[in-house]
Structure 1
Amino acid sequence: MYVAVKGGEKAIDNAHAWLAEERRGDNSIAELSVAQIREQLALAVNRVMAEGSLYDPDLAALAIKQSRGDLIEAIFLIRAYRTTLPRFGGSEPVETDRMACDRRISATFKDAPGGQVLGPTFDYTHRLLDFKLAADGEVPEAAMATSDRIQTPHIMSFLDREGLVQDEPEGAEAPPDLTREPLELPAERALRLQSLTRGDEGFILGMAYSTQRGYARNHAFVAELRIGTVEVEMEVPELGFAIEIGEITLTECETVNQFKGSKTEPPQFTRGYGLVFGQTERKAISMALVDRALRWEELGEDDTGAPAQDAEFVLYHADNIQATGFLEHIKLPHYVDFQSELELIRRLRREAGAAVAEAAE
């Protein structure tokens, strides 16, 4: 039986109080600070910043604490807060070839120019629970200090010298801003990349995985994956030139794919691209694979009907905030709609019963 929820505003206030109590947990255990979340749950913080489109580790950590670790709820909080911020202008495009790399690897060249830098990664761990962490033991410092980070050119630039990679013409105009304008199709590549970098990591991962398993035939090589800090510059009108206003950490991935050529293009490599806030390499690689799959039309390739090639399907379903809102709205009262459906089913059953009885006579 469906009945109206009683209590109104008082019930909602009590629900909020109960939520705050559950969020705090056992009072005999020390409260988790925002600084602890920022420093020790950095990968969760990075995801919230990336999909929330706001680079602020402290606010992302606060959102994670407020949401009890529900990252999609934290992303929602960050996006909502972002809309309240004043906009003073736009920064210059960041120069990722000047990135101070903490991690830089290539799956295409063993002796990559500038060297391979393994950096902080789970790739070489044994995936065994480390019970030393439960004892709050100290961790030894890494042998490579932050000041020793290197700046290296992109590996793709070495392929470019031989003309083996498709040219990527620079856009004549600034791309549209997805945080200020709604997504419209057909979407140019710059807009697709914005949508992918804000998209849900799990969804983008699933789409990327599907391309590797044959849905879009996207068997890529990671030309380069790099993680590090870049300078952010902004042009000040009063000065007439750009000045550095800060640094951010980014993950960048470039993949190479075979392209058999066309009537106007020789056989060459094409590229997929991913760029995400923080150390978010799974998302960056996934993004690069999906980016390449979505380029089938501009490259004159066949549409295999794969989901990852369908821009409307990918871009309209990648955003976890929109998906969550539409999904969770069915929790809200739908009494009138349901009663109409209930009455319809009852009437149909009565009519069907009467028809059976009439046929039996």
Structure 2
Amino acid sequence: MYVAVKGGERAIGNAHDWLAEARRGDPSVPDLALAQIREQLALAVDRVMAEGSLYDPDLAALALKQARGDTIEAVFLIRAFRTTLPRFGTSHPVDTGQMQIIRRISATYKDAPGGQILGPTFDYTHRLLDFGLADGDTVPQAPEAPASHSAVPHILSHLGAEGLMQPEHAPEACGADDVPDLTRTPLEFPAARPLRLQALTRGDEGFLLSLAYSTQRGYGRNHAFVGELRIGHVRVAAHLPELGFDVEFAEIQVTECESVNQFQGSKTQPAQFTRGYGLVFGQSERKAISMALVDRALRAQELGEDMSDAPAQDAEFVLSHCDNIQSSGFLEHIKLPHYVDFQAELELIRKLRREACAMQEAAE
């Protein structure tokens, strides 16, 4: 049990004032505007939205500014704010096949049906510091290709048409009460795949990256290919009973990844490919790919594969530790006063040392 410690109110107030001063920095330097954070630190904003479970670039930019760039603290702020928001209803599942694509690649087909779109990416940069950016220089921009507005079928659907890809069976009903909402109900085990995907999509990117890397190094023996990675905008719609029809009310940017994995088959199923799946707010390729690899690792028991001691195959281990807010909260609480606990430990150590010394003297 942890008991709140009273006192130190003046010191805490001074700490808050000092934090505000440190956040502002040198007053001679122009204040950082939210629009600058939103537009020029977009990938950090996207990460805060994804792990905070709230799509709002302006609020994510504000959280980053308030947190002085601490991503996890910004996620904490966004989640706390989200709990104050009312829920009006549930939207329909987004149709990523209708995505307005700005980036689409495949590691499995050179001539991917529908074409490959490189889009804005660090993949082909030399990772050399561009000192021109320090001087505020602008880089000449090539003519920008318009985003694809036509339906672009998923690449793995072509494998599915040949019967080479294990089909994904959606539940018969997709109402608001069919799948638990992790933002409103605690995680319970065993967790079905829809709930696991919820936990992964808002899990810590670094943690999922490490788990995904572990599967590639043999902890789970789960070799994967990126069947398709696509980034773009999708429309969000909901049914309004009072109107009697669906209404599109938002357009959001998402990153989707489908991984392709081997499956040897069974007595009832022929050999075919299986998939891992990742869907994340904003442009977050590393997170989406990591999510897809971990999702596939967590399906080992479902697919009847040999279970090893690989961490990525242990649903309780993965889902209980991927949430960075829970992790940081429990970790950081140990810097708060634990005077009574420590004094008890200290007295125990002293007592053991006294007893040990007494026994040694008696032996002599």
Same fold by TM-score greater than 0.5: yes
CA distance in 1, matches of 2:286, 2:230: 12
Encode CA deviations 1:270-303: one digit per residue, 9 max, x unaligned. 0000000000000000000000000001100000
Following superposition, the deviation at residue 151 of structure 1 comes to 3.7
**Partner residue, 2:55:** 55
**Partner residue, 2:202:** 198
- The runs of at least 4 consecutive aligned structure 1 residues that moved more than 4 Å come to 145-150
Encode CA deviations 1:166-221: one digit per residue, 9 max, x unaligned. 11111234311100111101100000000000100000000000000000111101
**Partner residue, 1:96:** 96
**Partner residue, 1:18:** 18
**Partner residue, 1:328:** 332
Give the number of aligned pairs: 356
- Matches for 1:49-198 after TM superposition, within 5 Å: 49-146=49-146, 151-173=151-173, 174-198=178-202
Match of 1:357 among 356, 361, 364: 361
Moved more, 135-144 or 19-28: 135-144
Match of 1:254 among 255, 258, 269: 258
- The amino acid that maps onto 1:270 is T
Q: Is the 8 A contact 1:102 1:149 kept in 2?
A: no
CA distance in 1, matches of 2:206, 2:172: 33
**Partner residue, 1:337:** 341
Note the residue ranges of structure 2 that are not aligned, 5 or more in a row: none
- The amino acid that maps onto 2:270 is P
Note the residue ranges of structure 1 that are not aligned, 5 or more in a row: none
Q: Is the 8 A contact 2:101 2:148 kept in 1?
A: no
Q: Is the 8 A contact 1:274 1:287 kept in 2?
A: yes
- The amino acid that maps onto 2:18 is W
**Partner residue, 1:297:** 301
1:232 maps onto 2:228 in alignment: no
Task: Give the superposed CA RMSD.
Answer: 1.3
- The amino acid that maps onto 1:40 is Q
Q: Is the 8 A contact 2:98 2:151 kept in 1?
A: yes
CA distance in 2, matches of 1:145, 1:239: 38
- The amino acid that maps onto 1:124 is Y
Q: Is the 8 A contact 1:101 1:151 kept in 2?
A: no
Following superposition, the deviation at residue 246 of structure 1 comes to 1.0
Following superposition, the deviation at residue 234 of structure 1 comes to 1.1
Q: Is the 8 A contact 1:104 1:225 kept in 2?
A: yes
Query: Any idea what SS the aligned residue of 1:89 has?
Result: coil
Query: Any idea what SS the aligned residue of 1:135 has?
Result: coil
Following superposition, the deviation at residue 100 of structure 1 comes to 0.5
- The amino acid that maps onto 1:116 is Q
CA distance in 1, matches of 2:45, 2:26: 24
